[in-house]
A and B are shown apart, each in its own frame.
Chain A
Amino acid sequence: MSQAPLPFNETPEAARARRRRSWAIALGCVAFVILVFVITVIKLSQNAIIPQRY
């Protein structure tokens, strides 16, 4: 069975580098989601601990 041709006529090395870059972008996106979540939790907890005065 012949090997499927690589997309965009790229070399195997270029394909590997592209996959690594794609992984880096994916990890960056996940990190950003976690960052926003952490900031939100901290900000909410800061507001929550303000005692109510009536």
Chain B
Amino acid sequence: MSPAAAKRLDETPAATGDYIQLLKPRVMSLVVFTGLTGLVAADTPLNPVLAAISVFCIAVGAGAAGALNMAWDSDIDALMRRTRARPVPTGKVSRGDAAGFGVVLSLFSVMAMGMAANYLAAGLLAFTIFFYAVIYTMWLKRSTPQNIVIGGAAGALPPVVGWAAASGHVPLNAWLLFAIIFMWTPPHFWALSLYTSGDYAKAGVPMMPVVKGAKSTRLQILIYSLILAPLGVAPAFTGLGGRLYGLVAAIGGLLFVGFAVRLFLSKAGDAPTTGEDGLYTERPGSKTARDLFAFSLAYLTLLFFVLLLEHLVSRL
């Protein structure tokens, strides 16, 4: 460690909150929610304490992957407005400490999952952490504009892990939940990157708008949205979702495509992205991208919430 970095660490000692921030609590909450939905949707009787421990393990595993991501990406995090306040680039936590924290939590979560649920769930959790930390963070993120498409698999696996924890196997319906999140990821993140692409360009991250331009990104968002909308309704036909789910998914899917068409016809991302814009700052022409980003979050949350609700009610 350089004397300057050591001095900075000494001046701003890491608090417990900084280590919690390494776990990416906001991302973790969505992962916990989808993992819980997978666990409940499996419709397999499971001891409630073991179920709670399994969900806890998914949360800790997701947090561990986040810590490993922040340890590896601290150089580019320091360059982007959205990420430069994170504990590693600010010097509150060293890269080594963040990496050690991530490795220890990874081992802990996988081991506990193996004990509480089964080895299939533990193996899938380990694979999820590996995929996010190694395949996405260390390899894809800096090398291809398809980074979040392929890397999205890591974010799509938690319901499969939850399903495996409850039942010990992963049928087609579990992979259907995976497919919904997998297809949802590109339109969600590319909508975000359409109005933060200046940040990504500055850090040298080849996000789609940086490499292929805004117009191509808007077209690809529309294509993925057209695939996602029917895929979202599919659980209503496989016995996974009920009538309410089918209705919500159909209306949500139509609105999703509507927002994507509106974005495709707009000039979002065309304006120069210099300056100090924040994550939710509205630049000229970027409102449509911001709207799709916000709606996509609500869409996925609602789909999984209705699915969770239907399966909980059916158990009463």
Check B115 against A39 for contact (C-beta < 8 Å).
yes
Chain B residues within 8 Å of A26, by CB: none
- In the bound assembly, the distance between CA atoms of A13 and B92 in angstroms comes to 13
Nearest-neighbour CB distance to chain B for A54, whole angstroms, equals 26
Q: Any chain A CB within 8 A of the CB of B268?
A: no
Given A14-B10, A32-B108, A35-B112, A42 and B47 contact (CB-CB distance below 8 Å): yes
Q: Any chain A CB within 8 A of the CB of B19?
A: yes
When the two chains form the complex, which single residue of B11, B14, B15, B50 contacts A42, counting CB atoms closer than 8 Å? B50
Closest to B48 in A: A42
Q: Any chain A CB within 8 A of the CB of B4?
A: no
- In the bound assembly, the distance between CA atoms of A43 and B53 in angstroms comes to 13
Of A32, A39, A42, A43, most buried by chain B (CB within 10 Å of CB) is A39
Nearest-neighbour CB distance to chain A for B82, whole angstroms, equals 26
Nearest-neighbour CB distance to chain A for B32, whole angstroms, equals 17
Chain A residues within 8 Å of B194, by CB: none
When the two chains form the complex, which single residue of B13, B16, B50 contacts A14, counting CB atoms closer than 8 Å? B13
Chain A residues within 8 Å of B19, by CB: 21, 24
Interface string of A19-53 (1 = CB under 8 A from B): 01100100000001001101110110010000000
Nearest-neighbour CB distance to chain A for B177, whole angstroms, equals 26
- In the bound assembly, the distance between CA atoms of A14 and B112 in angstroms comes to 33
Check A18 against B53 for contact (C-beta < 8 Å).
no
**Contact residue range for chain B?**
10 to 19
Check B14 against A46 for contact (C-beta < 8 Å).
no
When the two chains form the complex, which single residue of A10, A16, A18, A36 contacts B115, counting CB atoms closer than 8 Å? A36
When the two chains form the complex, which single residue of A11, A14, A20, A38 contacts B49, counting CB atoms closer than 8 Å? A38
Check A20 against B53 for contact (C-beta < 8 Å).
no
Given A38-B49, A39-B53, A20 and B115 contact (CB-CB distance below 8 Å): no
- In the bound assembly, the distance between CA atoms of A13 and B9 in angstroms comes to 11
Check A11 against B10 for contact (C-beta < 8 Å).
yes
Check B116 against A21 for contact (C-beta < 8 Å).
no
Nearest-neighbour CB distance to chain B for A17, whole angstroms, equals 3
Chain A residues within 8 Å of B47, by CB: 42, 46
Chain A residues within 8 Å of B11, by CB: 11
- In the bound assembly, the distance between CA atoms of A10 and B112 in angstroms comes to 36
Chain A residues within 8 Å of B116, by CB: 39
Write 9 A-B pairs (CB below 8 A) sorted by A numbering.
A11-B11, A13-B13, A21-B14, A21-B16, A35-B112, A39-B50, A39-B115, A40-B115, A46-B47
Beyond A39-B112, A42-B47, A42-B50, 6 additional contacts (C-beta under 8 Å) are: A10-B13, A14-B13, A20-B15, A20-B16, A38-B53, A42-B49
